[in-house]
Amino acid sequence: MIAGINIYEILTLTSILFFIGVYGFFTRENLITVLLSIELILNAAAVNFVLINTYLYPDLLQGAIFSIFIIALAAAETALAIAIIINLYKLIYSVEVKDTETMKY
Amino acid sequence: MDILSLFVVVPVLTVLVLVFAKNLKQARVISLIGMAIQFAMSINLIFAYIKERATNTDIMVFTKDVVWFENFNIHYSIGVDAISVVMIALTSTVVLAGIFISWKIDDLAKEFFVSLIVLSSGVFGFFISTDLFTMFVFYEIAVIPMYLLIGIWGSGPKENSAMKLTLMLMGASAVLSVGILGIYFNSNADGGALTFNIFEIAQVHIPEAAQNLFFPFVFIGFAVIGALFPFHTWSPSGHASAPTAVSMLHAGVLMKLGGYGVFRIAMYLLPLGALNWTDFFLVLAAFGVIYGAFGATMQKDLKYVNAYASVSHLALVLFALLMINKTAWNGAIIQSLSHGLLTALFFALIGMVYGRTHTREIEKLGGLMKILPFIGAIYVITGLAYLGLPGFSGFVAEMSVFVGAFQHPDMFHRVLTIVVVSSIVVTAVYILRMVGKIMMGPLSNMEYAKLPKATWYEKTGLILLMIPVVIIGVMPLGLSEMLKASIQPFLERLL
Amino acid sequence: MDFSYTILIPLIPLALFIVLGIFSKKIPPSISGWIGSLGLGTSFVLSWYTAYTYFLEGKLNGVYQTFIYKNTWLNFTDKLHIDMGVLIDPISVMMLVVVSTISFMVHLYSRGYMKGDDGYTRFFSYLALFSFSMFGLVLATNLFQIYIFWELVGASSFLLIGYYYTKPSAVAAAKKAFIVTRFADLGFLIGILVVSYYAGTFDFQEINNLQGSIITNWAATSFMGLSVFTWGLILIYMGGIGKSAMLPFHIWLPDAMEGPTPVSALIHAATMVVAGVYLVARLFPVYYFVEDGFALQIVAYIGAISSLVAAVIAITQTDIKRVLAFSTMSQIGYMMLALGVSKYDGHEGLGFMASMFHLFTHAMFKALLFLGAGSVIHAIHSNEMGDMGGLRKYMPITHITFLIAALSIAGFPGFAGFFSKDEILAAAFENNMLIYISSVFVAGLTAFYMFRLYFGIFWGQEKQYKHTPHESPWSMTIPMIFLAFMSIAGGYFHFSEYVTADHIPFKSHLDLPLAAIATSVGLIGIILAFVFYKKENNLPERFAHAFGVFYKWTYHKFYFDELYIFITKKVLFGVVGFSAAWFDKYIVDASMVGIGNVTVSISNKIKGLQSGKFQDYAMSFIGGGVVIAMVIFYLWIN
């Protein structure tokens, strides 16, 4: 519990963070920046877990521990994504999103 | 193996043997032998049927019933009555004549004969089935090879015509399957099991609302292949682009599936729906008769003339079926048979002319009678038979239809009957125009003077088709009495 | 008495047709000519024998009996069925004699006329087919049987008119004949359907039965003021109008002259064209009794008008066969009007008897006229009167026989035509004064145009001929001599003791005043023709000029042909046919193809969903998820 601050205010913060990440995922033109946006989404979720833990269940620790999980997961997923991007780069020599549209009608 | 299943097995066996044929000559001979056996079997069936009928008075004879797919109560059930026997004889005659006429096809001949015979096996299966689902399966087998046959071995804009024909007929099948499923799911209206068998469904009283709903689906599904206005436009371009034997088979036999289906399924299983919808479809059919006739007078391509003529004559079949009395139904079936033979004759003749002169345009042809005496003579005779000259089967059919149709005393039926009867004049116009221009008159192109005369296989094919036309025309009593006995149970449901 | 052997009379020509038709290339011409002639000769002998036995012994209590032999051919409903068989009664026996005589004569004549022609055997097979069909028609026992043979006769006519099939004009004439008569047959067929539905039968005996349902109860059902039977009879007569070339369906007859002349003699003079007359005669009781003879009046007036119009046109024509064609139309008009004014019982049925009598005599002398014309055409290779003149020196037999026939048709006393025409005029005088006056006028015209023809061919100025004309061979002149004999002797049969409306013979007598009027009118016609045409002069041109526009209209046959061509080509096929074909190609077909195009364009728009951009996929994913979440939330709240 942080004195003087409402849960809703921090929830707003995490939501904004989440949707910035979503927006970034939809609109960025560089694959790496899309990855960055994914990080934002994951981090927003993690902060949400800690927040709920602090404000609603102050006696428990599960929320905070779960946020560590999320960080580990994010790292693994980022590594995987970078590996895919590197392999793709070897093929098309570009990390632009618009060069990855060949699997269409 | 019972006598009827052989009709499906023999074509399949012929196809299997054909796959191993090494060259053109073997392919032709194998197909000829297979279809000649089929023809002999169908003649035998006529006599066997007559003999059986003397003792057996069930609706269908030579029946057999094997469970195919238990869960939906689908059976492979077969049987024949006079109408099926007649149609089977027609099919085997036209197919055999078609094999004779196609003797000289040389590219991919083996595949051509395979597709043709597969198609015919579908038709035979359709005529012997008495289970709705089996019937539909055979109907599809009869329609799908058309795409290959027209698209590969055709002439002119063949891919386009093949596509149009197949898609329109597939669309009709889709509509038909809605109707069939509608019938199926109402077949337990009296508290039995759901069934596809025609005669079991006939015992059930399907609610009138369901009948009114599904009758148009089934009727239109069959009427499209029977070239009912306005769903007939696949026919002119399809027939024009198709190779000769395919046109013969399609116009001669496949288009009769429509009338047969209306008779066997649409009107028999949904009688109340039929009675409610007759007036609407009668107008379409009557209009189709006169519309097809007038359309035929304007055509410039021989095959188009024949295609529109077929639209006109087949609309007469549907017209007669919708008149719902014994004489008209008798006429409808004889007309199916007669028209099948005559239109096959015409397409064969047109194919022979086209094969020699490489043109089907009426304007360019002329005076061929002197150069091709046999073909010319048969052409004139076929033309006269087609316009309903007595002594040929067309007269018997048309008069039965007209007399039957006239038995309705009300103004609506009378007016439509008179409209349809007056088509005999328009028919005479386009037939004589066609015959007069291409066969008679002066020779239009000096190069035609050297055209080869009719060959043995062409003559055989033509004579094979002409003989039944003359026999039915001169002695119709036996055929019409045989058909009347079988029409009776189907008519009773509607009266 | 057993007349069942009469079935052989049509069957012999049928067998001839089949044999000569199938083996036409293999049988040499000389044999086919003999076979054909022999076959028809047999039918000829059988017919005369039948007539002899029937008319001498066929009476029972003074009434000629009807003999019927028939078999069911096709069943329609419980009551309606087509039978095939033979019906022997006075008019059918008479017709057997007429048809077999003329056919046999034409067969003999054709052996000479068609000699050397390519399709000789084919010609004889077609003649046999025609003879078979005509015999079947006159022996018919029921309405549908007569219709069947009616159609077959039309088909034979088509084949024979179009015999010279490489000539476009012959093909066109054959087509025209078939189609015009088919249109008339449409009326016939509808008439048959109407009459048979309300009478419940096709059979002639039942229809004509004086106690039967039609004659006693025709008023039961009516349509628009007239009995349905009247409508049926009028429609049936429409077929007769077409086949007998009455106005307005006469346009095919002049063109039918494109066929070889023996064909014109047989079909278009003596036999097929009288089928319409025979039809009315066959159904005479119903025509007379239903609606008090309403339909019969129509028969009379159409006959009278046709005879008048045809006689007027014949005066101006220059092709000898066309003159004879219009003459035929005019004489058939006489036969129709005689039937039309006739009553039924005994002596009152004079018109009926006169009509049949004239049918008989006309067949003889008209066939002879055509055969004579054929002889002339054969000699000078042209049909036009302008190319002929002074032929009496070169062709004596043709000349004399032609003169005999011309005198007969003009009604010169002593010749057959005089007797039959006189009976017709007497019948008309007794029943319809207007028709009588018209008929007398026509008699005068007939004599005039006939002798115009005679003088123009055999007298007048000699023309330049390609080679000296010579008389025809014996094969052609013998039939002509026989027919000339019949054109005189045929008048001396006491016809009223054989052929009457109610089958009861009566005695007829020559009405001297009427005969005198008719003869004098005929003589005036002959004298006028003598003045105008015996020697070449310009009197005809001056008269033609004087008549001006009327002459022009007559010469062009009152423009009937042009009118019909306009209606059929421009209106029927130009408008209706063209619209049907256009509608089909551009609207019906276009909508089917349009359905295909619509499907393709919809699929083009939908395929954009597979864009290949993963961000779009993610957007859909998230969007879907949001929608589902909202739905669940909404349901959770409620």
CATH number at residue A13: 1.10.287.3510
Using a CB-CB distance cutoff of 8 angstroms, which residues of chain C are in contact with residue B388?
151
CA separation for the pair C79, C261 (Å, rounded): 45
Encoding tokens for residue C517?
Answer: 């009027």
Encoding tokens for residue B455?
Answer: 């060959």
Structural domain count of chain A:
1
Contact call for B390 and C178, based on CB within 8 A: no
Asked if B428 is an interface residue toward chain C (Cβ–Cβ < 8 A), one would say yes
Closest B-chain CA to C190 = B418
Encoding tokens for residue A2?
Answer: 């942080």
Residue C43 has, within 13 A of its CA and on its CB side, a CA count of: 34
Q: Tens digits of per-residue pLDDT, B140-172?
A: 999 899 999 999 998 888 898 999 999 999 999
Asked if A95 is an interface residue toward chain C (Cβ–Cβ < 8 A), one would say no
CA separation for the pair C165, B442 (Å, rounded): 8
CB B385 within 8 Å of CB B392? yes
Nearest chain B Cα distance for residue C77, angstroms: 6
Q: Is residue A76 part of a domain?
A: yes
CB B222 within 8 Å of CB B266? yes
Asked if A100 is an interface residue toward chain C (Cβ–Cβ < 8 A), one would say yes
Q: Is residue A2 part of a domain?
A: no
Contact call for B403 and C77, based on CB within 8 A: yes
CA dist C157 → B154, C206, C253, C373 (Å): 40, 31, 11, 20
CB C109 within 8 Å of CB C262? yes
Which of B 211-230 lie inside 8 A of C, CB atoms? 229-230
pLDDT of residue C490: 87
- Burial class of residue C529, CB neighbours in 10 A (0-12, 13-18, 19+): buried
Percent with pLDDT over 90 in chain B: 54
Closest C-chain CA to B429 = C179
Q: Which domain holds residue A69?
A: 7-98
Other CB atoms within 10 Å distance of the CB of residue B283: 16
Encoding tokens for residue A9?
Answer: 């205010």
Asked if C626 is an interface residue toward chain A (Cβ–Cβ < 8 A), one would say no
Residue C18 host element (H or E)? helix C8-22
DSSP line for C296-336: HHHHHHHHHHHHHHHHHHHHH--BHHHHHHHHHHHHHHHHH
Sequence-separated (6 or more) residues with CB below 8 Å from residue B233: B164, B168, C584, C588, C589, C592
Indicate the SS3 state at residue C226.
strand
Q: Which residue has the tokens 């079947």?
A: C136
Other CB atoms within 10 Å distance of the CB of residue C502: 18
Nearest to C596 among B167, B294, B299 (CB): B167
Q: Which of C618, C415, C122 is nearest to A23 (CA)?
A: C618
Asked if C629 is an interface residue toward chain A (Cβ–Cβ < 8 A), one would say no
Q: Describe the crossing of helices C228-243 and C294-316 by its angle, rounded to 10 degrees.
A: 20
CB C163 within 8 Å of CB C267? no
Indicate the SS3 state at residue C126.
helix
Percent with pLDDT over 70 in chain B: 100
pLDDT of residue B1: 66
B447 has pLDDT over 90: no
Within its chain, how far is the Cα of B200 from the centroid? 27
Contact call for C166 and B442, based on CB within 8 A: yes
Q: Is residue A104 part of a domain?
A: no
Q: Which of B123, B117, B128 is nearest to B76 (CA)?
A: B128
Neighbours of A (≥3 Cβ pairs closer than 8 A)? C
Which of C 25-44 lie inside 8 A of B, CB atoms? 25
Nearest chain C Cα distance for residue B90, angstroms: 21
CA separation for the pair C537, C461 (Å, rounded): 10
Q: Is residue A19 part of a domain?
A: yes
Encoding tokens for residue B276?
Answer: 């409610």
Encoding tokens for residue C80?
Answer: 């309606």
Q: Tens digits of per-residue pLDDT, B50-97?
A: 888 888 888 888 888 888 888 888 888 888 889 999 999 999 999 999
Nearest chain A Cα distance for residue C602, angstroms: 14
How many Å from the N-terminal Cα to the C-terminal Cα in chain A? Answer: 54
pLDDT of residue C190: 95
Where chain C has pLDDT below 70, the residues are none
Q: Is residue A1 part of a domain?
A: no
Q: Is residue A105 part of a domain?
A: no
pLDDT of residue B401: 95
Sequence-separated (6 or more) residues with CB below 8 Å from residue C375: C395, C398, C471, C472, C476, C477, C480
ipTM score of complex = 0.93
Which of B 164-203 lie inside 8 A of C, CB atoms? 164, 167-168
What is the three-state SS of chain B? CCCCCHHHHHHHHHHHHHHCCCCHHHHHHHHHHHHHHHHHHHHHHHHHHHHHHHHCCCCCEEEEEEEEEHHHCEEEEEEECHHHHHHHHHHHHHHHHHHHHCCCCCCCHHHHHHHHHHHHHHHHHHHHECEHHHHHHHHHHHHCHHHHHHHHHCCCCHHHHHHHHHHHHHHHHHHHHHHHHHHHHCCCCCCCCCCCEHHHHHHCCCCHHHHHHHHHHHHHHHHHHCCCCCCCCHHHHHHHHCCHHHHHHHHHHHHHHHHHHHHHHHHHHCHHHHHHHHHHHHHHHHHHHHHHHHHHHCCCEHHHHHHHHHHHHHHHHHHHHHCCCHHHHHHHHHHHHHHHHHHHHHHHHHHHHHHHHCCCEHHHCCCHHHHCHHHHHHHHHHHHHHCCCCCCHHHHHHHHHHHHHHCCCCHHHHHHHHHHHCHHHHHHHHHHHHHHHHCCCCCCCHHHHHCCCCCHHHHHHHHHHHHHHHHHHHCCHHHHHHHHHHHHHHHHCCC
Sequence-separated (6 or more) residues with CB below 8 Å from residue C632: none
Asked if A87 is an interface residue toward chain C (Cβ–Cβ < 8 A), one would say no
Nearest chain C Cα distance for residue A45, angstroms: 16
- Read off the pLDDT band of B445 (50, 70, 90): confident
CA separation for the pair B293, B305 (Å, rounded): 9
pLDDT of residue B409: 87
- Sign of the C-alpha dihedral, residues C465, C467, C471, C473? negative
pLDDT of residue C506: 84
Contact call for C193 and B391, based on CB within 8 A: no
Encoding tokens for residue B361?
Answer: 């345009």
Contact call for C584 and B442, based on CB within 8 A: no
CA separation for the pair C132, C252 (Å, rounded): 23
Closest C-chain CA to A105 = C610
Asked if B233 is an interface residue toward chain C (Cβ–Cβ < 8 A), one would say yes
Encoding tokens for residue B126?
Answer: 């359709």
Using a CB-CB distance cutoff of 8 angstroms, which residues of chain C are in contact with residue B476?
73-74
Sequence-separated (6 or more) residues with CB below 8 Å from residue C147: B390, C185, C188, C189, C192
pLDDT of residue B193: 82
| Mutation target among C117, C193, C223 for the B interface, most CBs of B within 10 A | C193
Q: Is residue A45 part of a domain?
A: yes
Q: Is residue A39 part of a domain?
A: yes
Asked if A90 is an interface residue toward chain C (Cβ–Cβ < 8 A), one would say no
Within its chain, how far is the Cα of B375 from the centroid? 24
Encoding tokens for residue C600?
Answer: 């393709």
Asked if C600 is an interface residue toward chain B (Cβ–Cβ < 8 A), one would say no
Residue/partner pairs of B25-33 with CB below 8 Å, 24 or more apart = B27/B109, B27/B110, B27/B113, B28/B99, B28/B103, B28/B109, B28/B113, B30/B113, B31/B99, B31/B113, B31/B116, B31/B117, B32/B96, B32/B99, B32/B100
Q: Which of B250, B224, B225 is nearest to B94 (CA)?
A: B250
CB B430 within 8 Å of CB B326? no
- Sign of the C-alpha dihedral, residues C359, C365, C370, C371? positive
| Mutation target among C167, C171, C579, C595 for the B interface, most CBs of B within 10 A | C171
Amino acid making up residue C190:
I
Q: Which of B294, B175, B314, B164 is nearest to B238 (CA)?
A: B164
- Sign of the C-alpha dihedral, residues C191, C195, C198, C203? negative
Asked if C465 is an interface residue toward chain B (Cβ–Cβ < 8 A), one would say no
> Does a cis peptide bond (omega within 30 degrees of 0) precede residue B230?
yes
pLDDT of residue B206: 86
* Residue C90 Rama label (left phi>0; alpha psi -120 to 50; beta): alpha
Q: Which of B180, B268, B186, B188 is nearest to B217 (CA)?
A: B180
